[in-house]
Amino acid sequence: MRLSKARKEAVTAVMKNTIFEAAGSVLEKHGVGGVTMDRVATTAGLTAGSLYNYFRNKDDLMQFVYSRVVEPFFQYVERTSKLQRSAPEKLKEILHSVRDGCIEHRVLIRFWVGENHNDQRRKDDRMRFFKILVAIIERGICEGSFRPHNPANSARVLQGCLQELFELLEAASNEEVNEYIDFLIDASLGEFPLHAKKASKSAKAVPPSSNP
């Protein structure tokens, strides 16, 4: 009995979701070099032949996994950038989204910021995100939320900070990811918690603790 087109598409979507989860599991256990079509098929409960019905090869499979993780993030960021909210609110929401993505897709993000990532794809992604950040910062300058400056410089700083976060994911805990993003939000909103507030003249100096 031949399946209807709609039912066949539904079955394909379910199978690809199963394969996506399996590929993520294999990446987590075996690393990039250990990802093989056989391992993904076994983890997904499929035969290798069945897996090839959905993906031509490993590169095709990895591109699919990429699209399931990265493209939805860009779509979310682009929607957020167009909301009727202040620029600081948009940046804060985007950075929270980055935090959530790092925690949920830690292994896959490490894969795409590593040397195995397609260089052209990475360049395209960075430019796409850079343009979104520049547009938000420009809007913030126009609305008076940010001081006048070259928005490209701020966008580059934010991108650099996020790249550092991605590279730290190998060892960073979820708590450290949260702390890092909170610190970055403070910095991007002009509340960089680095300079100490000057004590009033009447305030007594507190000697430093002898404990390390």
DSSP one-letter string for 53-75: TT-SSHHHHHHHHHHHHHHHHHH
* 144 within domain boundaries: yes
Cα–Cα distance list, 49 to 26, 42, 65, 124 (Å): 18, 11, 19, 33
- CB of 40 within 8 A of CB of 19? yes
Please report the pLDDT score of residue 208 as a whole number: 47
| In-domain check, residue 154 | yes
Report the predicted TM-score, pTM, of the whole model to 2 decimal places.
Answer: 0.75
Residue 116 sits in the same domain as residue 16 = no
Range of the domain at 176: 67-188
Residues 75 and 51 both lie in one domain: no
> Is residue 50 domain-shared with residue 71, that is, in the same domain?
no
CA nearest neighbour of 58 among 26, 80, 99: 26
Q: Clarify whether residues 109 and 178 are in a common domain.
A: yes
Digitized pLDDT (tens) for each residue of the chain, 212 residues in all = 466 778 888 888 999 999 999 998 898 888 777 889 999 999 999 998 999 999 999 889 988 888 888 888 899 999 999 999 999 999 999 999 999 988 888 877 766 666 555 667 778 888 999 999 999 999 999 999 999 999 999 999 999 999 888 888 878 899 999 999 999 998 888 766 555 555 444 444 445 444 44
Number of domains in the chain: 2
pLDDT at 204: 47
